[in-house]
Structure 1
């Protein structure tokens, strides 16, 4: 069984994913795998140069993520082109990865499951939510960027309310202890669905 886990920037979906991991569930973090592919694939480097110019690869031979982020968050078409380079490769890698897992179910964590209409690829979907102010605070601390920059990134994502309507389950992630309890409850429920 494959469960999609999503949530807006700063919702804490990675934190929630780690809680499932501690319960023995295999987690595929699409962003992390995308980063690895971007760093290690010469083919992707060539396509990035084609899209952003030579300065996109830094002196260490790695993609300049800050430069890419600065450009794509302001330009939806550029973001779309970047996604067309990265997403199909992540999807291919996931297919190979999933065959090697042997946990009762697996979780695929990605930020834009609903925006990309990918929910049909999963048996169930979970949305992680948090109040807007909490999200902004988390991202400011994590990425050392301004509240305005966080707000800009949020504009590119759907609202929680829009996603909640599409998700099978919701976990509100404000209070960590409560979040842990909710994850455990949902884990038990998912196990019962696997065994049904």
Structure 2
């Protein structure tokens, strides 16, 4: 039977992980694009083998794992190389995520994807949930968490889909500017909604 999939997204520092973990506490399986993206280039993986064949041994650490910094430097100034990498990895990430969705045994599945709309992965889900916060809070939370300058966070925000556009595409929105208890009750309410939707044939 096809799984009911909720696509969870939001800008950097919006609290996607916190929201996802609250769903996990309710027994819902999470399929996280960031984790899968690391898995497909793990040591000994087909993804890493192809990357080394293409870019050479410089993108490999001494222990055989991916040298992310070296790879980032190569693709940063060479859009055609970045396209090659995306064309290799995006299908791998998508296929692995769909496989994990089918293996899940919860009533529905939360697919956590930072660039859900940007990468067109919203086509794979039944409904979308956006975690939203005020941009000022996004900047302060992220610079504190990642120990980076606020100007760097602003650049990342500018590279992502504009807030208004993301909100206009959302089926559900969680405002994550309050306390954890308020967030927990919003998640519980959506959880009941998704349980009902998952029972209804698509």
TM-score range, shorter chain: 0.7 to 0.9
Distance 1:57 1:162, change over 3 A: same
Q: Deviations over 1:8-33 (max 9, x none)?
A: 11111111110100011011001111
- 2:197 aligns to what? 193
Q: Deviations over 1:110-164 (max 9, x none)?
A: 1111112222211101011111122122222332222222222222210221011
**Structure 1 position 118 matched with structure 2 position 121:** yes
TM-score, scaled to structure 2: 0.85
* C-alpha contact (below 8 Å) 2:43/2:64 kept by paired residues: no
- Give 1 or 2 for the bigger CA radius of gyration: 2
Give the conservation status (yes or no) of the 8 Å contact 1:26–1:101.
Answer: yes
Name which of 124, 132, 137 aligns with 1:134. 137
Aligned partner of residue 152 in structure 1, secondary structure: helix
State the aligned residue count: 196
Provide TM-score, normalisation by structure 1. 0.87
Distance 1:73 1:164, change over 3 A: farther
Is the 1:73–1:156 contact (alpha carbons within 8 Å) kept by the matching residues of 2?
no
Q: Is the 8 A contact 2:5 2:127 kept in 1?
A: yes
Structure 2 residue matching 1:3: 3-state secondary structure: strand
2:11 aligned partner: 8
Aligned-pair CA distance for 1:56: 2.1
The residue that corresponds to 2:161 in the other structure is: 158
Q: Which runs of 5+ in 1 are unaligned?
A: none
Once the two structures are TM-superposed, the CA of residue 67 in structure 1 deviates from its matched residue by 4.1
Post-superposition CA distance 1:56-81 (Å, at most 9, x none): 22222222234444565666655443
Q: Is contact 2:5-2:111 (8 Å) kept?
A: yes
- 1:178 aligned residue (167, 177, 182): 182
Question: Equivalent residue of 2:40, what SS?
Answer: helix
The equivalent of 1:25 in structure 2 is 28
Shift of 1:187: 0.7
Relative to structure 1, the CA distance from residue 70 to residue 189 in structure 2 (aligned partners, 3 Å threshold; closer, same or farther) is farther
- CA drift of 1:109 comes to 0.6
Contact 2:40 2:48 in 1 (8 A): no
Match for residue 144 of structure 1 among 147, 172, 175: 147
